[in-house]
Structure 1
Amino acid sequence: MPATTLPLLARRRIASLATLSVAAWLVGCASPAANLPPLPSEAPGPYRLGAGDQLRVSVFNDPRLTGEFRVTDTGNVALPLVGSIAVAGRTAQESERLVERAMRDKSLFNDPSVAIEVLEYRPVFVLGMVERGGQTPYRPGMTVLSAVAVMGGFNYRAVTDEVGITRIGENGRAVEYRGERLSLLQPGDVVTVYERRL
């Protein structure tokens, strides 16, 4: 083999090894959320009640039936004299109509008027590379960044541009999505802040 060929072959091997090293480094630096499906963009709509929500149910002209009630893990709210009403997945307005119908069916009122207000939303959970993991009450308009801020912020090992967001779908199954700092959260979401790979 001519002497002039050796340096060219050596340079090609070094270049190939360098390319492989950079590719391996890039794979190692990729966020663990990279392979997750993106969080679906949903048009803002009316809030739907779920297990853990604290409600104030007001029955006009009868303070005995007015009070604060929590939606149970089965998605029901138990009201005095009325019984258990399935409200999970329904809006407050839809739930008001259900309660009014139940009152008419039980002959409690001829023309009942009910108002339902959410006093406390079910929480959002933040796990992983944050200063203090745990749960925080949901607030309308809450983003990943605002939820992490309540938990003391990202810690020094955190991937800060992508997170995992686990959400319960309408079919009742949990799905993990890829979210970003400004992704809007929903009550009950679980945010996972991943550790940066060095």
Structure 2
Amino acid sequence: MRLLICMLALLVGACASVDTATIASGPRYTDQQMDENYPLGVGDKVRLTVYREENLSGEFPVGPAGTISVPLIGTVPVTGESADAVAEAIRMRLADGYLKDPRVNVELVQLRPYFILGEVSDPGRYEYASGLTALNAIATAGGFTPRSEKRVLYIRAAGTEGEQAYRLTADLRIRPGDTLRVGERLF
């Protein structure tokens, strides 16, 4: 009988505890804003401004192939590049027989969305906002359901295969393109 009680106590304790060895730490917990070297990706939207060339300026979404289509010069690969690097690439292509000394600026208008699923009231796709925290993302998705595990959040970063467990705190940061999963607690 004692053995049965001990086994039951261990089982309940194991179900209620979180394996701290699997919980990640690091840069997601720092208060860093996105830097100017943010790598562009599919789902982002940029504003291209060519000085004194309104017909070449405008907002361009990054398409499924990781490119934007710019008048005169066609498609420009942008995936993994910073806005400054894309501006320089466009400037060089415009200077190659189209414009004399073009002045080009590229800025981010819209970052790729994040996705949230699992034990939240309204799972789905949401627009990213600068400085987004995990708790803000969960609140945007309608908050926790009654069965939610409120101590751990699973995040799959854009372009990666697996998800990583993170301790759910007020300073856990979300990045564009992340997929968040709120798990279900057993008890």
Smaller-chain TM-score bracket: 0.7 to 0.9
| Structure 1 position 134 matched with structure 2 position 152 | no
Equivalent position of 1:173 in the other structure: 160
Structure 1 pair 167–29 and aligned structure 2 pair: CA distance change class (3 A): same
Residue segments in structure 2 that go unaligned for 5+ positions in a row = none
Equivalent position of 2:179 in the other structure: 190
Secondary structure in 1 matching 2:114: strand
Instruction: Note if contact 1:34-1:178 (Cα within 8 Å) is conserved in structure 2.
Output: no
Secondary structure in 1 matching 2:157: strand
Counterparts of 1:102 and 1:60, CA distance in 2: 15
| Structure 1 position 64 matched with structure 2 position 55 | yes
Residue segments in structure 1 that go unaligned for 5+ positions in a row = 1-12
5 Å matches for 1:34-53?
A: 36=22, 38=24, 40-41=26-27, 44=32, 45-46=35-36, 47-53=38-44
Secondary structure in 1 matching 2:39: coil
Q: Report the TM-score when normalising by structure 1.
A: 0.83
- Could you say which structure has the larger radius of gyration? 1
Counterparts of 1:176 and 1:93, CA distance in 2: 31
RMSD: 2.0
Q: Which is richer in helix?
A: 1
Amino acid at match of 2:104: V
Secondary structure in 1 matching 2:85: helix
5 Å matches for 1:1-198?
A: 14=2, 16-31=3-18, 36=22, 38=24, 40-41=26-27, 44=32, 45-46=35-36, 47-105=38-96, 107-168=97-158, 172-179=159-166, 180-181=168-169, 182-198=171-187
Instruction: Note if contact 1:39-1:177 (Cα within 8 Å) is conserved in structure 2.
Output: no
Q: Report the TM-score when normalising by structure 2.
A: 0.87
Kindly provide the CA deviation profile for residues 33-90 of structure 1, in whole angstroms up to 9, marking residues without a partner as x: 8674515426743322110111111111100001111001221111111111111111
How many residues are treated as equivalent by the alignment? Answer: 180
Instruction: Note if contact 1:164-1:192 (Cα within 8 Å) is conserved in structure 2.
Output: yes
